[in-house]
Structure 1
């Protein structure tokens, strides 16, 4: 088996050939599985790995698909990315198929004083929504509160957020057979509260947020804005501006 680096983009897939129903006889995705998820390592897996089999063919996909945020197909025991072919196979995530995350978007203030709470990711150095993966047996609402508190120290346990969407996330780790979806929720505060980076966040701060362009401008000299979170932030900022 030949593995590519985990950040390998894979061969380009023309839009007309992305759909799994469309034949693509020359399709040759690259395998980006990192060492800790390869067969030898899975004999003694690390604690964060939920699926310890090197392939997904023995998983009960009927049960998993019933709990999925975004519907997807399974062919010959292999889950198929709901957006189609990606050019990459294997996995760089805890589970085969859908990996659910929770992304709490916290906005404080109004008008020129409006701010959004972001963290700088410790793994790739860009600025993103504070959030992360839903733990086994955990609900998305619980994960929203836990991830926010772990990464920023902000405790919004007593607040009920507005769930904005349950969506596929265009994450850099996604492959044909493992991908991320997210429950995205909006918390609205009257004013900012102290935030301190912790867990896997390198930094945390409130960023001026009149619109997405301003957020991107504010974070550009600090490492940039995480591409996968741009549409999530845009939707939250637009919703916050919407009339009550």
Structure 2
């Protein structure tokens, strides 16, 4: 069921009990909150399609679902209408606040400098929601994830690591703030190691860029909080994965 009334894009959505999150569980009364922003609503798309978005008003208008599913970082299914279903189940939100219906691929470079007590991680202050996050962003059409990792890092921090080969940490759905039942973000996260900090300059999509101590997630949290800022919740699992990799491989 899709309500006709739109809610603010930051609406938390309808409450979804854990037992009713799986799509395999029947829930006739499910009423997700519609959070499509004004520029992606049918009347607006009829006049102008933003350069970052596809013009399809609903997923039924998408003709290449076989191709999209084959190239997905995380497998997903379609419902009886041909609409894509979030791989983790119901979100309590519907509509689209991302460029594409279904999976939107992102690249998140995690840059670590130094070792031991001097180890630090590079973060940016996102200019859209004002939180501390990994520098990264969406993969452009026709672009590979490795190329996107280098481009996003360069655009957002001014740091060029094109000559380095990172360790791919994983490919997973992230809890992006724009997520809905039918549009979500899946990220390729990668780890870069530098011997010491280099100068970072805030650029595209970043209000600030800088280094924070990274001995543990608790230490990072404390440093970010001390700076009067908040760590982006969606990136916490990615940062934890980076820490696990460093610890398991004996790289202090």
Task: Indicate the TM-score class for this superposition, using the shorter chain for normalisation.
Answer: over 0.9
Q: 1:61 is matched with which residue? A: 65
Structure 1 residue 229, shift from structure 2 partner: 0.4
Cα RMSD of the aligned pairs, angstroms, is 0.9
1:191 paired to 2:196? yes
Q: C-alpha separation between the residues in 1 aligned to 2:229 and 2:129? A: 9
1:20 paired to 2:48? no
1:178 paired to 2:183? yes
1:209 to 176, 198, 214: 214
Equivalent positions of 1:30-41 (< 5 A) are 30-41=33-44
Q: C-alpha separation between the residues in 1 aligned to 2:155 and 2:246? A: 25
Equivalent positions of 1:39-78 (< 5 A) are 39-43=42-46, 44-49=48-53, 51-59=54-62, 60-75=64-79, 76-78=81-83
1:3 paired to 2:6? yes
1:114 paired to 2:124? no
Q: C-alpha separation between the residues in 2 aligned to 1:112 and 1:242? A: 17
Q: 1:145 is matched with which residue? A: 150
Whether the 8 Å CA contact 1:148–1:155 is kept in 2: the answer is yes
Structure 1 residue 53, shift from structure 2 partner: 1.2
Equivalent positions of 1:224-239 (< 5 A) are 224-239=230-245
Residue aligned with 1:214, SS = helix
Which runs of 5 or more residues in structure 1 are unaligned? none
Residues 45-79 of structure 1, C-alpha deviation per residue, up to 9 Å, x if partnerless? Answer: 11111x20110113221110000000000012100
Residue correspondences, number: 243
Residue aligned with 1:182, SS = strand
Q: C-alpha separation between the residues in 2 aligned to 1:212 and 1:52? A: 40
Residue aligned with 2:224, SS = helix
Q: 1:81 is matched with which residue? A: 86
Whether the 8 Å CA contact 1:86–1:176 is kept in 2: the answer is yes
TM-score by length of 1: 0.98
Residue aligned with 1:166, SS = strand
Residue aligned with 1:125, SS = coil
Structure 1 residue 193, shift from structure 2 partner: 0.7
1:105 to 107, 110, 119: 110
Q: C-alpha separation between the residues in 2 aligned to 1:190 and 1:157? A: 16
